[in-house]
A = this chain, B = another copy of it.
Amino acid sequence: MSAQRLLVDIHTHVYLPRYAAFLRSRTSVPRIFTRTSPESGKPEERLLILDDEPSGGRPIGAQYWDRDEKLKFMDRHAIDVSVVSSANPWLDFLPAQTAHTLAGELNHDLETYCSTGPSLQQNLKRLYGFGLLPLVPGATTESLVSTVEQIASLPHLKGIIMGTRGVGKGLDDEALDPVWAALEKAGLVVFLHPHYGVDKNAWGEKENGHVLPLALGFPFETTIATTRLILSGVLDRYPNLRVLLAHSGGALPQLSSRLASCIAHDPLVASRLKHDARYYLGKLYFDAVAYGSEELGFVSDAIGRAEKYANAGASAAVSSAKGTDGTEKRRAGAKRMLFGTDHPFFPPLSATEKWKSVVENLEAIDGVYGWDEAEKGAVRGGNALALFNLGA
């Protein structure tokens, strides 16, 4: 099979058995607990990962931890390779020493999960992984950097997944500079993923289940974290750092010109940055988990136009971009977008269905106006093989 035809899922989660067991031992969120199902009368496990989660949390089962279930899901949807990451909230809630120890153990577990799994072809396994850092308040630089080095030494771990809190003060905290430096040096991809959303008071009093925190809160959190990363100059200081944004960067692409305008009207902030805010979108990677063709096409536009903003003020850049064919920028942007599923979240409503979330994201890629087969193939898998240096 040509590498260009592979389907690679870079947004797919696992609660490793060690982590699931740990959640079962807890009595406060995050936790896994057993209750009697109101429908079947049988015992069922539920996962609670957010404070005040509606509906008593989510049903949880083998698809959350069992590698065979992951492979079955992959086979069902013709996914050749998955780069698996632990699901939120990772280690965020733990004391520093516990987080350090558990990160090391879980990284080893994930390496084993991948390395003992099936191969697709010579030099290409079906499973790779994103490791975990003990990113919690009180974590020492030594603990964080040594865990980066541990992950770099594990051949099937190709990056790390991280939330948005850093060691408690967000990702614009200078205390993280040695971590960015170590990640850049090790060539590990940083998968930036939300968990907290924004203040739940924003959702009001109406019962809307998980809809508002998941549909809006998650992407808002990613947007804020990435914007703070840009404003604090991290992407200027670590130009080779590779950051992959969950959920197609949330709202960052749509708000990026407004962001650039707000920065331009604030000389203090503007003077700190080397480039127009829109430039940095061309340095980032975006999963293609947006559920719509128009969204994906726009994200690729926002990436594809970035180079125009390398050195120019906004007006000059707009003018110079005017002559360009819109689909040329769009095709260029596709190079930094990567298929994902968000498995095992967004499960189908009945057990026999294909996962709607997967079908939608594949159809979305297929339907992007202005992408040729080359771009679609790259987003489905080619970009992932290149970004993670797989199968080379």
A interface, CB within 8 angstroms of B: 169-170, 172, 198-199, 201-212, 214-216, 219-221, 223-224, 227-228, 231-232, 247-248, 250-251, 253-269, 278, 290-295, 297-298, 301-302, 305, 314-315, 318-319, 321-322, 325-327, 329, 346-347, 349, 356-357, 359-360, 363-364, 366-367, 369-370
Contacts and interface: CB of A to CB of B under 8 A. Distances in A.
**Max chain B CB contacts within 10 Å: which of A198, A221, A261?**
A261
A206 B172 contact: yes
A174 to B, nearest CB: 10
B232 A227 contact: no
A261 B357 contact: yes
Contacts of A346: 261, 265
Contacts of A248: 254
Contacts of A357: 261, 265
Contact of A291 (B221, B247, B297, B314): B314
Contacts of A369: 325-327
Contacts of A209: 266, 268-269
B210 A224 contact: no
B251 A255 contact: yes
Contact of A216 (B203, B227, B292, B325): B227
B211 A269 contact: yes
A254 B257 contact: no
B305 A294 contact: yes
A247 B297 CA distance: 21
Given A265-B357, A278-B292, 12 more contacts: A170-B204, A198-B202, A208-B266, A220-B251, A250-B255, A253-B295, A293-B321, A294-B298, A297-B326, A315-B363, A318-B364, A326-B370
Given A216-B259, A259-B215, A370-B326, A223 B251 contact: yes
A256 B366 contact: no
A261 B356 contact: yes
A358 to B, nearest CB: 11
B291 A302 contact: no
Contacts of A315: 356, 359-360, 363
B203 A224 contact: yes
A265 B360 contact: no
Contacts of A199: 198-199, 201-202
A260 B291 contact: yes
B210 A262 contact: yes
Nearest to A368: B326
A251 B207 CA distance: 22
A265 B302 contact: no
A262 B213 CA distance: 10
Given A360-B315, A367-B322, A206 B232 contact: yes
**Max chain B CB contacts within 10 Å: which of A203, A216, A357?**
A216
B219 A206 contact: no
A337 to B, nearest CB: 14
A370 B321 CA distance: 14
Contact of A208 (B203, B267, B269, B360): B269
